[in-house]
Amino acid sequence: MNPIEFSQQKEVTGVITDHIKTAAIYCFGRQKTACTASRTLYPDNELQKEHIHLYLLVLVYETIENAASDIPDKIKTKTHGAATATVLVHRVQSLKNLCHDQQFFFWQIMQHAELLFQDNSKPPYLNCSETPKRNLKATSNYIANRKSVMATLWNWLYNDDDVSSSDEVKMAALHQIVEQTCLSLIRVFMGYTPNHFALGHLFTLCEYFTSITADFFPCESLEDKSMFKLLSQQPGMLRFSKANDVDYLYYQLLEQRCGKFRKQADILIQNEIDRLSEGKNELKAVNN
């Protein structure tokens, strides 16, 4: 991976190390976009702006509540919106207990991603006797468990004809269906099991390998943003909800989108599992 521009790297790493006691920061992906702002009064002075979105693994000595949300907010503020980030925060101690795909995911990043910062007095490491491999059986079991949760919720939503049923509760069920779908996508395509579950965070993680979340849940118009805000509310918000808190029309639109999203995600997941299985079988045949 090509180095990130130094001044930007310094700002990003500074925000993180100032916020939390950090062992290492790895950049395992970035997306650049450029835009031109033209003006009628000064047509010869077009404004060129570049935005970069970073995918960061941050290994820390201690956890701070909401760090995975607060750090991206601070990066965006510090860089005046020029840089944003999806941040995975994990304790160094957790490296000792990784198994299956999670070990594979961390090994890939620590071996191949760009190291932005490291505590040289105690550099983190993975204690692996051999190169970790994907565990498709464990992944398939994980996907099956997520599907069971989704099917139960969806069957209730789809077959519920009781006019007195709360749209607020139904919205919480849609939230869970989308969350479970994102967790399945991330596990299959990245080998990673998140420890932070805000939908915005999961969506940007999915955008690392597919556009499906942006396709079904865009945030371009005010209506899109309003629907995403409703969908993003954690089920715990039911503790404070009131009747008619959810716009019925928005609920109907979101139910349709969630259903289509779930079906398309199932196809992507199965295709990727088939691809991984074929690759594993081919490797086994070569070794034999």
Mean pLDDT, rounded, for 196-224: 95
Spatial CA neighbour of 26 closest among 39, 40, 12, 38: 12
> CATH 1.20.120.330 residue ranges in the chain?
136-284
Look at residue 102 in the predicted model and tell me its pLDDT. 95
DSSP state of 91: E
- Contact criterion met (CB below 8 Å) for 178 and 260: no
What order do you get walking across the sheet with 22-37 strand by strand?
Answer: 83-91, 47-60, 22-37, 114-118
d(Cα 17, Cα 24) in Å, to the nearest integer?
Answer: 9
- Point out which residues pair with 59 in neighbouring strands: 24, 90
pLDDT for res 279: 87
Q: How far apart are CA 178 and CA 197, in angstroms?
A: 11
Residue 143's CB is within 10 A of a number of other CB atoms, namely: 20
Which residues are bridge partners to 53 per DSSP? 31, 84
Return the CATH class of domain 136-284: mainly alpha
Mean pLDDT of all residues belonging to the chain: 88
Domain with CATH 3.30.460 in the chain: 6-118
Say whether pLDDT at 37 is over 60: no
Q: Which fold has domain 6-118?
A: Beta Polymerase; domain 2 (3.30.460)
SS3 22: strand
Q: In the prediction, which pLDDT does 44 show?
A: 55
Q: Does residue 164 register a pLDDT over 80?
A: no
Residues ≥6 apart with Cβ < 8 Å to 147 = 180, 184
Mean pLDDT of 45-72: 88
pLDDT tier for residue 242 given thresholds of 50, 70 and 90 = low
Contact assessment for residue 35 and residue 49, using Cβ atoms and an 8 Å cutoff: yes
3-state secondary structure at position 189: helix
At residue 84, what are phi and psi to the nearest 5 degrees?
A: -130, 170
Q: Read off the pLDDT band of 6 (50, 70, 90).
A: very low
Instruction: Calculate mean pLDDT across residues 19-47.
Output: 77
Higher pLDDT, 113 or 129: 113
Element counts in the chain: helices (H) and strands (E): 9, 4
This prediction's pTM:
0.89
Give mean pLDDT, residues 154-182. 85
Q: How far apart are the first and last CA of the chain?
A: 34
Dihedral of CA atoms 59, 60, 61, 67 in degrees, nearest 10, equals -150
Least confident range from 20-24, 93-97, 162-166: namely: 162-166
